[in-house]
Each structure stands twice: as C-alpha cells, then as structure tokens.
Structure 1
Amino acid sequence: MKKILYGTTALVAVGAFAATGAQAAEPIQVTVGGYFQAAFVFVDYDNDDGRRSRTLQREAELIFGGSTTLDNGLQVGVQVQLEAETCADQIDESFIYLAGNWGRLNIGSENSAAYLMHVASAPPSHWAFGLNSPNISLTGNFPHTSPVSLTSDAEKVTYFTPRFAGFQLGASYAPDACEEGGCGGTFSGSEFDDGSDGSVGDVIEIGVNYTGKWNEIEFAASGSYGTADDESTGDGPEEWSAGVRVGYAGFTIGAGYREFDSVIGDETTDWNVGVRYATGPWGVGIQYAAIEIDPNNGNRSDVQAVEVGGSYDLGPGVVLFGGVQYWEGDYDSASARAGTIADDETWVGFIGTMFSF
C-alpha cells in the first residue's frame, strides 16, 4: 500500500489522464524510474526493554511503466513497481490501464479509488515519514491512516470519471482482499474462499474529490466510503473518510478523518491535522495525528503523535529531510498494549535523504 507520489500528490495523479507515451499506434515503450530513501532513526522510549535506540531505515523501488496511444485515440499503459529489497510483497503494485476523454480504467494490483482520491494534512518533512499512512513506521505503534483502504493493493477494477467543474468520482470493485496470489489488505483469505474463514469479498470502495482555485487560494476536499460482504457472519465491515486541504502563499493547511466498523463490532476513529510552509527549496511543517480503537471487549486504546520536521531540495530528484516525533499511548489493558512501545511516551528523531530517478 505504499504511496508513490512522483513529486506531487495522489490527488493530482488520479486527476490527470494525459501522460507521455509513444507515438500513435506504436507499441508500448517501457521506461524505468524509481526512488531510494534512507534515514538514521534515534528513539527514546519509556518501555525500552530489549529494544535498540537507533537504527537505519531504508526503502526503495524500481518503477517500470509505459504507455501508447492507439489510432482510435485510446491510451493504454502499464506500471509495475518492484521492491528494491527483499520483502514479503516483492512486487508492490502492478496494473494496466486504459484512458480517454471518457475517463480512466485501472485493472490489477493497485490502491482503490477511495484511497487514491483522499485528501489529508501534508507530512511536515517527507511523504514517507509523516504520521498519516507513512511508508515507514518509525516506532511500531498503531498506524495512523485516514484514507479508506479495505483492500490495499488487492486485485481490483477501478474507474475514474473525467473531472467536471473541479469534481471527480472514482469507484473500485475487488472480488476479495487478495493481492497477486497472496492475501494482504485489511482482511485476508485465499482468492477462492467462500468467506466461511472470516475473509471478505465483493469489496466496493468509492471516492469523490474536488479541486479548485480562487485567486491565489488553492482548495481540495474529498469523501470516500468502503464496504464488503462477510459470508461467515452475513454482515460486512464499513469504512468512510473525509479530508480537506487549503493552500495559500506557500502555506498548506489540511486535515483528514476516518471511521472504521469491523464485522465483530470493533470501532476505529482516526484523524490528523497539519500545516506546512514551503519557499524555494525549503519546507517546514507540523502534524498531529490520533487514533482511537474501541474493540467489542472494551479494552480501548488511544494513541496520539506529533511531528515537527522539514526538508531541503538539493537539486532535481534529491532531497534532505529530518524531523522529531512525540508519541503517547493510553491503554485499558496489557493485551491492548501488546506489540506497541507507546506505553507512556516515545521520542523519535530522524534525518535522511531520498533520490528520485
């Protein structure tokens, strides 16, 4: 479920159907791009039993993609994202697409329309290290994520309308929550399960967003909804989210919100808010995120975090970034606390760089 923003936002990437490709009626010519990011991380936590206080985090991908325009005006393309390190999901996302003045159709392993069209607060330092749905978790605490993501990169079909008067609608359908023969996402199972094992199927995720500009003020807002069937219980999970972002004179202010109701009655509320300022190669910001998990057994968990950070563009495709995070957790029981390190307080500092190519 990694976000690949290519120096912009997923919102813009979804809204733009035109892309550079080969000449009309020529075969698809595949090019290679990608990124490599690494950061030194230093952690100071109250619950430090058996835990290292420093580490080196890295993450990289090679991205293969290409497109062409047929004689009838139909644009077709392909994208494959290959992890540049050994991991369980070696191929992150892989899909084909068709596009024209009627919209765009994605087929394959890719995030849903609800996820891609979501708007939220901007990360203070770098898109992979913010508090909202980061690519790299620096603490192992409960993840903060405000976009709807019932299926992650599960195999699906997604349609995006053209943008009319600033509005765009997208819808995704996934027969199950399985990805490339293995099962990930929020719910697992195998591709041909009947649902009796607790996995879900017939997942529908819908998103809508608006982008506009008045004088020097840029505005974006989104809303999304997801639902699925659980054949073992006859009832399925539901998830919805909303977000807003406003930009003016180098400042970007945003917020995102999500609610999730599981099959067994667990409820999760997740939200974030932040502001970032950028001028020339410099950027600084602050972000706050909180998550409340209220399971049906009553063992509630609350985790909140703040990040202050910044970035500096050294040149095309090369950025330095760094920041400080503060985490605090409140748990009703030892079982709710298990697997986390935010028992009381956790401080995190990081500094790193990313090369894009």
Structure 2
Amino acid sequence: MNTKLTVAAVAIAATLFSATTSAQDESELFDFYGKISVGVQFSDLDDGTDNDRELESYASRFGVKGSSNLDGGLEVIYQLEWEVDVADLGGSDNIKSRNQFVGLRGNFGEVTVGRRDTALKLLQSGFDPFSNYEGDMKHIFAGKNRTKNTISYFSPKFDEFQLAASYVFSEDDLVDDGVSMTATYGDKSMKSTVFYAGVGVDDSVNGKDIVRAVVMTKVGSTKLGLLYQDQENVDGTGQADGFVANAVQPWNDFTFKLQYQMMEFSNGDESSLAAGVDYKLGKNTKLFSWYTGRDLDNVDAQQRYVAVGIEHKF
C-alpha cells in the first residue's frame, strides 16, 4: 500500500466533503472522524527484555462514515476506516485497514458487504474496558475478528431484541466459509436499559469454533460485566473455556476500571489482571494509566505492563 497516496486521498475526500456540506441535500449525512491514543509503556517480560520502555499507539485511527436516503424507504450506509501507528511504525506499515464496507438499511434491518467486525466480536463491543490495551481480552480469548470478504446482517430491534450474522467467504478451497451469529437484548451503553445480555457462536471463523455469552448491568453508577466463552480449533483440538469479569466506576472526572480474565487450556491456564484509571480533560480528551499482569502457565511465562498516556477523539 502507498501510504502517502492513501493519506492524501482521504484528506482530499474529507476536504471535498466539508466544502460541499452546505450544497448537499439534508438526507446526505457523513462524518470524518478519528482517534489518537498514545502512551509511554513499560514492559517486564520473561524473554530478556525486562523494563523495556517505548511509546505505543493504541489503535489510533481515522475514517469517513455516512449514509444517504434512497428511493423506496432505503438508506445507503458506508464506512472507510484505517488504523495509524503514531508512535513507531512508518512507511507502508503505518496504515492498516479496519472496517471498510457499504450496504443498505431499511425496514428489514441492515446488510453490508466488505471488511467488518464479525457479529461475535461486536457482541463484546463496549464490554472490555481495556480494549486495545495490553489488558484486552484478545490476548487470551479468541474471537476478536475483523474479516474481509464478509456479508453482515443486523435485524431491526424488537423490544430491545436483535439478531446479527456474518458470512465470511473463504479464499481457500480447503477451508470452509465462516459463519458468526448473535442474539442480544438491551442497550450496551446502558442508556435505554440498565441490562444487556447476548449469546453468540463462531463456526469456522479464523480457524476457530466459539460459543460466547455476555451480561452487563449497572448497579447505581457502577457498570459490571461478565463473559463466558468456550473455544476450540475447527479440527476439534485446542479446546479451552474461561471467563472475564470487570467493573467500571466513574467518579467526578475520573473513571476507575478493573478486569480479571482466565482461560483454562489442556496444558495450563492463562490469566490476566488489569487495573486502570482515566482522567477526563474535556469532552473528547482524556489521560489514562493502567497496569496489566498476565500469567501464562501453559508456556511458563509472566508478563507485566504499565502505561501512561493521552487520548483525543475528533
């Protein structure tokens, strides 16, 4: 990928969008957005790199998303998003594709084609308070997939119930197409409801078969979450199961976060404990700090991480 051409194309597109806003029909809605998240990270590993210090970019990104009304009560929706490493990588490695799709929305729900987070991955959206950090459950739990060649469907909500599915076309004749499906109830942002629950399965997605259940609720101002997962390789090997439990407590401009996760494998357990605090500087800006400790019994390793950083959304 030519990074300069990619950045230039997005910049030109964003400029044209902004310049034509006043001339557009009100039915055309779009948003140029992004996030810069970077911190100083200290790592203590069992591989001879004790007390390693470096700047890390935590899934910083930019993109364009929008929608436009069509005839017959339809709406076209689209998103083009890229991840950018603002701390380390350069050249062609600096830009990575994220969600990039186009689709239709109507009374039937929503259908998109392209590259998109699978239904099972979206089931955990808003659940993991350490997403994109070292405490992210993806370091122990399988299933956080953003797949290409994907058709995605989301049903309308029926009294807070919703169904979702992803069909992933395989490019290898020896590998089955993948299917990801979920059923959910409630509002994961805890605005219209104070309870959210969902179940989901992956069948032959990224080499894994997965069953997952998640529950989130609020007790006062405290948000609590619990997730259970059973996973195995598509050939039936590597079976494992485990859980994640977390709590998030806002207090004035601070947000305190705690998460524990554990997965039992046949050759040992993997566990992680993460604790962190965010400090709000403004509507779109915060400082963050966190600690994560991982114990990997199956490879007899311990990993410890501490980070302090800043995040700004636009």
Measured against the shorter chain, the TM-score band is 0.7 to 0.9
Deviation at 1:154, TM superposition (A): 2.3
Correspondence 1:95 to 2:101: yes
**Equivalent residue in structure 1 for 2:204, among 212, 217, 228:** 228
Deviations 1:40-80 (A, max 9, x none): 111234x2524552111014211112211113221112111
Q: Give the SS at the match of 1:266.
A: coil
Q: Give runs of aligned pairs for residues 218-257 of structure 1, distance below 5 A.
A: 218-228=194-204, 237-257=208-228
Deviations 1:237-294 (A, max 9, x none): 5211001001132100101121112133221324210111113422102110112333
**Equivalent residue in structure 1 for 2:279, among 312, 322, 334:** 312
Deviations 1:211-250 (A, max 9, x none): 06999970001100121399xxxxx852110010011321
Q: Give runs of aligned pairs for residues 1-357 of structure 1, distance below 5 A.
A: 23=25, 30-45=30-45, 47-51=46-50, 53-58=52-57, 59-85=59-85, 86-87=92-93, 90-118=96-124, 121-123=127-129, 126-129=130-133, 131-133=135-137, 143-145=139-141, 148-149=143-144, 152-176=146-170, 191=171, 193-195=172-174, 200-211=175-186, 218-228=194-204, 237-264=208-235, 265-294=237-266, 300-331=267-298, 337=299, 343=301, 345-357=302-314
79 and 272 in structure 1: CA distance in 2 versus 1, 3 angstrom threshold: same
Q: Give the SS at the match of 1:116.
A: helix
Aligned mates of 2:96, 2:72 — CA distance in 1 = 36
Amino acid at match of 1:354: E
Q: Give the SS at the match of 1:99.
A: strand
82 and 255 in structure 1: CA distance in 2 versus 1, 3 angstrom threshold: same
Aligned mates of 2:126, 2:141 — CA distance in 1 = 10
TM-score (norm 2): 0.80
Aligned mates of 1:51, 1:215 — CA distance in 2 = 43
Aligned mates of 1:319, 1:356 — CA distance in 2 = 9
Whether the 8 Å CA contact 2:42–2:51 is kept in 1: the answer is no
Deviations 1:137-187 (A, max 9, x none): xxxxxx1236x45x53222111111111111011111121xxxxxxxxxxx
Aligned mates of 1:317, 1:215 — CA distance in 2 = 19
212 and 324 in structure 1: CA distance in 2 versus 1, 3 angstrom threshold: closer
Aligned mates of 2:131, 2:191 — CA distance in 1 = 27
237 and 133 in structure 1: CA distance in 2 versus 1, 3 angstrom threshold: closer
Aligned mates of 1:31, 1:354 — CA distance in 2 = 19
Q: Percent identity?
A: 22
Whether the 8 Å CA contact 2:32–2:63 is kept in 1: the answer is yes
229 and 36 in structure 1: CA distance in 2 versus 1, 3 angstrom threshold: closer
Amino acid at match of 1:275: A
Deviations 1:4-37 (A, max 9, x none): xxxxxxxxxxxxxxxxxx646x6x5654211111
88 and 238 in structure 1: CA distance in 2 versus 1, 3 angstrom threshold: farther
Amino acid at match of 1:239: I
Q: Give the SS at the match of 2:147.
A: coil
Aligned mates of 1:48, 1:35 — CA distance in 2 = 32
Deviations 1:120-144 (A, max 9, x none): 7442xx543263446xxxxxxxx12
Q: Give the SS at the match of 2:120.
A: helix
Amino acid at match of 2:247: V
Aligned mates of 1:57, 1:215 — CA distance in 2 = 33
73 and 279 in structure 1: CA distance in 2 versus 1, 3 angstrom threshold: farther
Structure 2's unaligned 5+ residue stretches are: 1-23, 86-91
TM-score (norm 1): 0.71
RMSD of aligned alpha carbons: 2.9
Q: Give the SS at the match of 1:110.
A: strand
286 and 31 in structure 1: CA distance in 2 versus 1, 3 angstrom threshold: closer
Whether the 8 Å CA contact 1:276–1:285 is kept in 2: the answer is yes
Whether the 8 Å CA contact 2:84–2:95 is kept in 1: the answer is no
Aligned mates of 1:66, 1:120 — CA distance in 2 = 21
Structure with greater strand share of residues: 2
Aligned residues between the structures = 282
Aligned mates of 2:252, 2:49 — CA distance in 1 = 43
Larger deviation: 85-94 or 30-39? 85-94
Amino acid at match of 2:223: T
Larger deviation: 345-354 or 34-43? 345-354
Question: Whose RCO is larger (CA < 8 A, sep 6+)?
Answer: 1
